[in-house]
Amino acid sequence: MKKHPMLKYLKEEAPAGPRLPLIMCPGCGAGQVLNYALHAVDTLIREDGLRKEDFVFISGVGCSSRLASHYLNFDSGWTLHGRALAVATGALLANPGLKVIVLTGDGDAAAIGGNHFIHACRRNLNMTILCINNGLYGMTGGQVAPTTPIGRTTTTTPYGNVEEEFDLCRLAQTAGAAYVARWSTAHPHQTIKTIIKGIRKKGTAFVEILSQCPVHLKTAPAEMFRDLKKNTVPLKKAGKSEAKGRIPVGVFCDIDKPDWVTRYQEIIGRLERVESTHE
Amino acid sequence: MNKLHVNPAYCKGCLICVEACPTKAITPCKSINAKGYTLPEEDDMRRCTGCMLCETVCPDFAIAIESDEDQGD
């Protein structure tokens, strides 16, 4: 029987027994995002001549964060809640040649790890942040999150959410990330292309992927997949009447500016020159 | 003709593959498996264009399409 092509990057067997199937609920978007990320990494390994050792996956805590160290056959870290970006910063500064990919959820990146997220974008660290945004706290029982859309019913907002949601893409753009994009799990090829560009980008690449939580939103996964396609609109058409009430998706910004490591190495180079003139 | 392979140990029956298939070459199975999941099955694989969208969107790494080249005639 032919196997899924991305299974070569996953740990099917571990000393304690088989790791797969994934622990996620049926139809969870986290598995899809992992699939897209692995497609992107596969393309980079084939086209850019990168090796498996050049990648490191870091995750925090939450549904989405189970993906990294548990299943991936790459170097990976399963870290503290919200602190994935802090650990990823450390990994990057220890070995600036690494391709750091952070798998994080909306609760992990926007709620508890909000400050780490802003400052990672501000420093323009050379890493790729994949934020799986399902608009609620899935692992703890479907409570309202900062990214829950206004009016959505969750377990802690049974009559609808009264708060405005957090627009993570605009936040990342304002904070200074070099590459910011938003897609949904219903845009597979766009997401894969964006992740490839994000990993190749020198600087912070933030990709928000709108995802579905079929269990807590009590909808069939296939229906949610269809709805995600229906409720999103390309960024070009965002101002038009057809975009009313729909979420804009696309590449928000793609700018070239020096990243943290480049600036730091410039200072080191300058000091070395000063030192050599004094000798 | 392309062949559909579904790994019953990994598939959780979310049927996103059936929704994503642009030519509707695959369909939900009429019966449920031992775990209670409805797995996808071949409907008319002559309609399969080998776009591999079902493989790409699968959250559980359970589905695979064996194309003509893989089968080696």
- Is residue A6, in this structure, part of any structural domain at all? no
- Is residue A60, in this structure, part of any structural domain at all? yes
B62 with A4: Cβ contact below 8 A: yes
pLDDT in tens, B1-56: 889 999 999 999 999 999 999 999 999 999 888 889 999 999 888 999 989 999 99
The whole-model pTM stands at 0.94
- Is residue A13, in this structure, part of any structural domain at all? no
C-alpha of B37 from chain center: 14
A21 with B10: Cβ contact below 8 A: yes
* Long-range contacts (CB closer than 8 Å, 24 or more residues apart) made by A138-141: A138/A62, A138/A63, A138/A105, A138/A213, A138/A215, A138/A216, A139/A61, A139/A62, A139/A63, A141/A216
ipTM of the complex as predicted: 0.94
- Is residue A194, in this structure, part of any structural domain at all? yes
Number of domains in chain B: 1
- Is residue A16, in this structure, part of any structural domain at all? no
Q: Which of B12, B16, B64 sits opposite A21 (nearest CB)?
A: B12
Find the length of chain B.
Answer: 73
pLDDT in tens, A115-139: 999 999 999 999 999 999 999 999 9
Q: Residue A85: give its domain's CATH number.
A: 3.40.50.970
Q: Residue B15: give its domain's CATH number.
A: 3.30.70.20
> What is the spatial distance between Cα A91 and Cα A194, in angstroms, rounded to a whole number?
23
- Is residue A76, in this structure, part of any structural domain at all? yes
Q: How far is B38 from chain A (nearest CA, A)?
A: 11
Chain A interface, best mutation among B35, B38, B61, by max A CB count within 10 A = B61
pLDDT score at A12: 87
Chain A residue with CA closest to B67: the answer is A2
Supply the range of the domain harboring residue A134: 23-278
- Is residue A238, in this structure, part of any structural domain at all? yes
Number of domains in chain A: 1
Q: Are A67 and A59 in contact (CB under 8 A)?
A: yes
pLDDT score at B73: 54
Supply the range of the domain harboring residue B10: 3-71
